[in-house]
Structures are given as C-alpha cells and as structure tokens.
Amino acid sequence: MCGISGIVSSENIAKDLFSSIRNLEYRGYDSCGLAVYAEGKIQLRKNTGEVDEVNKKERLTQLVGNLGIAHTRWATHGGVTKENSHPHFSANMEFAIVHNGIFSNYQKLKSELSAEGFEFRSMTDSEVFAHLVERAYAQSPNVENAFVSSLLQVEGAFATAMISIHEPDLLFCAKNVSPLMLGLGESRNFIGSDINAFLEFTKTAVTLDDGEYAIVGKQDYRIKDVATKEEKEKNVFTIHWDVESTKKGGYSHYMLKEIFDQPFTTKQALKIEKEEIEKMAKMIQQSQLCYLVGVGTTFYVSMVGQYFFAQFAKRHLPAVSSDEFKDIAILSDKNMMLTVSQSGETYDTKMAINFAKSFQSKTGAIVNVMGSAISMMVDNVIMQGSGAEICVVSTKAAFSQMMILLRIVLEVARLDNHLSEDQYKEYYTALEDFPDVIETALNEQSGFIRNMADTSVKIHNWLFLGCGVYFPVAMESALKMKEVTYLHAEGMATGFLKHGTLAMIDESLYSLFFVPPPDQIDLHERTLIAIEEIKARGGKVYGFIFEGDEKSEQLLDHLIRLPKVHFLVAPFLEMIMAQLFAYYSALKLNRNIDKPRNLAKSVTVA
Ligand code: M6R
C-alpha cells in the first residue's frame, strides 16, 4: 500500500527519483522520502506530508548522487511520523531500505535484533530488514548474500528495495506478493511498485515474480530466485500507455480528467480484438459455473455483469466480493472465476484467485495495469487498455470493465443462441455509438450537475436507489460519493425500501434515483413506486431520468434530464452523471479529491 522506486544511472538522479514517487503518490501519501548514495555515504531525507510538501521541507530534489531509492507511504505498522517514514537506515547507516507490504514476523525478528543491541529508530515492521542486512553483512561481507539471507528470514507479503555504500552502483530489490517491476532505460535503470514509477523515462519493463530478487546496475540487471540464487530468464515487454494519459491534461483533478477520458476509454474497450472476447466467452461457456469476482468498485462491476449475464445469456454467474470468496465459492476443476481489477495487485482478489487455483478451477481476468500480478496469475487475461488511472477512486477503469463484461455477455449469449444476429448487431451499434453520446452528455450536463452538487452539499445522508442493473449502478455511485465527499450515501435496490428503510424517511432524508427509460416498463414502474413511497413520507427525491419521462418529471424534486439512448447503455450514462455529481460535491466541500483521506489506490495488504 506504498510506492517504491529506485534509479541507478550515470547522472544525478534526485529530480527523477522525486518525480517517480510523485507519480506513485496515489499508492499512499502520508509521508515520503529519498535515500541517495554519493561519495561513500548515503544521504537520507524524509518527512510526513504529501510529496510536494515534503520536498519543500526537506529539499529532496537537491540531493546529489547517481544511485537512490524512494518511497511514498500509506501507514500500516507505526503511525504517521517522520521516524516511521521510509527509507530506513540500518544501525550503522551503511544500508538504506524501502518497503511496501508487511513483514508478518517482524515482532520476533525485532526482539531478536534488539537483544543483540540493534537500536530501532522507528515503530515500523520495515526497519527490521535494514538491521537484518547489516547483521548478515557483518558475518560475511557480501551485499548480495546479506540481502538474500535477510529475505529468507522475513515472512509476509512485501516488496523491498535497498542501496548500500558497499555496492555504490547497484540497486537490490525483491518481492513476495506485493508488486515490483524493473524499467529498462539507456545508461540507467529503474525499479518501481508499478509502471507509473518510470513511465516518463522508459516504456520497457520486466515484472518480478514472487520469490525473486533483482540486482540492477545502470547498464544491466540480473533476476534470481531467492531460494536457489539461480538466474532467471525473464520476459521484457513494452508498455503501451501514453505518458500524457498520466498527466492531468488541463483538468483541475485527475478524477475529472478520468471522467472525461471515458468516451476514449470506451472506444479502447470496444477495440479489444473480438478473438480475445470470444476466448473468454468460450471459457465461461465451457465452465459449469463461473463466479464474477472483484472488490470495492470491481465488485459492483461484477454485479453489473451478473445482471447482464442473466438478462442476455440466461446464465447465472454469481458476483462475489473477493474478500468473501473463500467463504462462499464452491469450486472444482469444472468451474471458473472471472476477476476484475484495475491495478491487478489487489490482495483480496489475488487471494481469491489462489483459492480458486487450489481447486484447479480456471481463472480469467480483466485488468488495466500491464505486467501486474493478477494479469500474470490467471489462465486468460484481457488487458482493458484504459491508460493510467491516477485518481484513487476508480471511474474510467471501472466503466471500461463494464463495457468489456458486456461484450463478453453478448458473445456468450450469441454462442448459446440467445441472441439473434440482428439483436447482436443492434446492441453492438448501441455500444459503438456510445462514446459520442457520453461526450455530448458530459459537455451538456456538467453545468447542471455542478449546480445540483453546489446546492446539495448540506445534505449529509443520501439513499442512492435503482432496480435491476440500476441497483449495482446505484451501489457503485454511492461508493464514489462516499469516497470523495466523505458523506454518507447508501446504495440500495428500490424494492428494499418497504422492507425496513422506509422507517428512516422524513424531510431530512434525500434520495437519488437512477430511473430507467420509460420503455423499460417493468423497471420503470418499480422505480416510480419507490419514488412515490418516499414522497408520501416527506422525503426529498432527486433523479437522473431520460427525455420523455413525464411521470418522473412530475414526481422528482430535482432532476437531470438525459437524452434518449439505447436501453443497453442507459444505466452507464446515469453512472457517469453520478461520477460528476460526486466530483462536484467533493469540489464544493473542498475535499482532497484525487487522494481521499485514509484510502490508497491499490490495496495490496490484507
Ligand atoms: O485495483 P482494483 O480494481 O482491484 O481495486 C479494487 C478496489 O480496491 C477499488 O475498486 C476501490 O474500491 C476504489 N477505491 C474504488 O474507487
């Protein structure tokens, strides 16, 4: 849940090293620091605060040297203090380390090292590693051996990187579960928690697998197995992301930029080769039971998939939250799971995949980040190609995942003969027209949505309501609202109201309805009943509706009227409007939109 980076070069690296943790800041942002080697010494500067703040306080970019490591932290073990920030020195300051994840046996190691006289400067689990390396080096002065013997002593999910005054031209790094990659440049090489650490410098990368370590020089690198020290042959791949896609491009926040990226990322999702979609569809078709698995937003993405599979392919694919998967899934070699993950590094989802694999179930994934763990773990992966998503809250990535799932659903439905060629063509046309529809709606509706947000930030409790596929859309939209505004928003199916929630309704409770187009007669009627139920008890009702929906117009206290669209894409257009609503509400409330408090972009720990 932190960002690690490192550079070894023939030139001064401090500015680039700083820039690289700036690009990783979405992984954690409560403190940061750099350690840079020069002239027989490691200079280490760190402090609490966001990356730019710490740079002002500590002048990180003014460090001088050609070898260094850096870290941006999201605290787990030990509070947010300067001492607990990374990098950490060994006692003799000859080694500096950074660490992401958890050394689960650190307490035992700490007691052992303390008894031997090592003094700890921090409350972190990470610091033990620096002392372990110092101790091992004292016994046998070889940095690689000391690094590996320390790796053999630590347990847990982690990634770590180290520099030492005894090897002034080399970076050492290793990983187990938590992500780590190498970036290969000219006369300089990089390491990073993900490709954003070095995307502005190189697009050539290598992924480290669990149980591997790397020794990285400015011209070359070696990757070895921690257990055997044997050198490994690794795939070098090219990153197809555009650096521009990681910049704000004139928008005031990444969230807003990423919302406005959606016409483009939808096109990208539609460009994924039909063969890839078909391959996943056939896997699902051949399985006895397929689970759709994700967590947080990707759980809601999976729920959308569940509704569409039932509706179009007449198949039940249960959506399960990754963290609950092992408690509920019935697995065998005839079953499969299809996971969804933006980062491809989410701990809960990785554990769910491992669980399925232990039953020889087939695994598939839709993933955004190339080279990420999940993309490598599964039998079949679809890379969604949405470009870097920097804002901690997921918008464009989740949206594309829904589009890709919908394509898979249509393929399964076609293979199973539940869709005629004409219907299939009609649905694809709706999808192909959708990017332009989104573009127009974003431009036309932003002002209205901003106005709705500006006048409603005094409301601290929301119910977001929908039925059918609009239910998971309401859930996802409520999560967006919670994440960026810190206000309470509860996503719910309209039918739940009369089974308990109506007791809460009075004039202080506001609801936002995701109203389907009137030609979706059953869903529309059920939604209207719920609106009436709330109105009858004095509650205030807001809603997203489509043109021509006079009944809803008469009932709603505040509405956003969207152009008529194909029923297939209608829920998604409303979801985009809800993203904007969350964004503008957070803007009015002056929240830290791209980096909401207490959250991190990839949740790589248990
Ligand atoms: O990287 P993943 O898609 O696997 O992440 C899953 C969740 O942690 C993520 O969707 C989280 O809920 C976001 N903060 C949503 O905006």
Query: Could you tell me the maximum CA-CA distance found in the chain, to the nearest angstrom?
Result: 81
| pLDDT tens column, 543-573 | 999 999 999 999 999 999 999 999 999 999 9
Check residue 385 and give left, alpha or beta (phi > 0: left; psi -120 to 50: alpha). left
Q: Is the omega angle on the peptide bond into residue 87 within 30 degrees of 0, that is, cis?
A: yes
- Please write down the HEC assignment for all residues of 45-107: EEEECCHHHHHHHHCHHHCCCCEEEEEEECCCCCCCCCCCCCCEECCCCCEEEEEEECCCCHH
- DSSP letter string, 371-390: T-HHHHHSSEEEE-------
CB 312 within 8 A of CB 419: yes
Torsion of CA 72, 75, 80, 81, to 10 degrees: -60
- DSSP letter string, 500-566: TGGGG-STT-EEEEEPPPTTSHHHHHHHHHHHHHHHTTT-EEEEEEETT-HHHHHH-SEEEEEPP--
Q: Which atom of ligand 1 is nearest to the CA of 343?
A: 1
Q: Which atom of ligand 1 is nearest to the CA of 369?
A: 1
CB 389 within 8 A of CB 264: no
Torsion of CA 421, 427, 429, 433, to 10 degrees: 180
Count other C-beta atoms under 10 Å from residue 458's C-beta. Answer: 7
Q: Which atom of ligand 1 is nearest to the CA of 393?
A: 16
What distance in angstroms lies between residue 378's CA and the mean position of ligand 1's atoms?
19
Catalytic residues: 2, 601
Residue nearest to atom 4 of ligand 1 (CA): 341
pLDDT of residue 249: 67
Q: Is the dihedral of CA 578, 584, 585, 591 positive or negative?
A: positive
Residue nearest to atom 8 of ligand 1 (CA): 296
- Ligand 1, residues at Cβ distance < 6 Å: 295-298, 341-343, 346, 349, 392-394, 483, 599, 602-603
User: What is d(CA 201, CA 114) in angstroms, rounded to the nearest whole number?
Assistant: 41
CB 35 within 8 A of CB 163: yes
Q: Candidates 603, 604, 605: which one to mutate for ligand 1, based on the most atoms within 8 Å of Cβ?
A: 603
CA 44 vs CA 4, 164, 192, 216, 333: distances in Å:
15, 12, 19, 20, 51
For residue 318, give both structure tokens. 């249960």
What distance in angstroms lies between residue 352's CA and the mean position of ligand 1's atoms?
15
CA 550 vs CA 77, 123, 556, 559, 561: distances in Å:
56, 62, 10, 12, 11
| CA nearest to 381, candidates 397, 392, 370, 394 | 370
User: What is d(CA 581, CA 577) in angstroms, rounded to the nearest whole number?
Assistant: 6
Q: Which atom of ligand 1 is nearest to the CA of 601?
A: 14
Low-confidence ranges of the chain (pLDDT < 70): 1, 244-245, 249-250
CA 421 vs CA 279, 379, 413: distances in Å:
19, 30, 11
Residue nearest to atom 7 of ligand 1 (CA): 296
What distance in angstroms lies between residue 582's CA and the mean position of ligand 1's atoms?
16
User: What is d(CA 78, CA 85) in angstroms, rounded to the nearest whole number?
Assistant: 9
User: What is d(CA 346, CA 340) in angstroms, rounded to the nearest whole number?
Assistant: 10
CA 160 vs CA 108, 141, 266: distances in Å:
19, 20, 36
CB 135 within 8 A of CB 115: no
User: What is d(CA 315, CA 556) in angstroms, rounded to the nearest whole number?
Assistant: 35
Cβ neighbors of 559 (< 8 A, separation 6 or more) are 542, 543, 544, 545, 552, 553
- Give the DSSP letter of residue 323: G
CB 572 within 8 A of CB 270: no
CB 364 within 8 A of CB 380: yes
Helix (H) or strand (E) holding 225: strand 221-225
pTM over 0.95: no
CB 1 within 8 A of CB 602: yes
pLDDT of residue 327: 97
What distance in angstroms lies between residue 402's CA and the mean position of ligand 1's atoms?
14
pLDDT of residue 26: 76
The amino acid at residue 562 is L
Q: Is the dihedral of CA 120, 122, 127, 128 positive or negative?
A: positive
Determine how β-strand 362-367 pairs with β-strand 380-383: parallel
What distance in angstroms lies between residue 603's CA and the mean position of ligand 1's atoms?
8
The amino acid at residue 169 is D
pLDDT of residue 603: 78
Cβ neighbors of 204 (< 8 A, separation 6 or more) are 183, 184, 185, 236, 237, 238, 239
| CA nearest to 181, candidates 372, 350, 368, 34 | 372
Count other C-beta atoms under 10 Å from residue 285's C-beta. Answer: 15
- Give the DSSP letter of residue 210: T
**3 state SS of 338:** strand
| pLDDT tens column, 64-112 | 999 999 999 988 788 889 999 999 999 999 999 999 988 989 999 999 9
pLDDT of residue 25: 84
Q: What angle do CA 490, 587, 509 make, to 5 degrees?
A: 30
Domains of the chain: 3-239 (3.60.20.10), 244-419 (3.40.50.10490), 443-606 (3.40.50.10490)
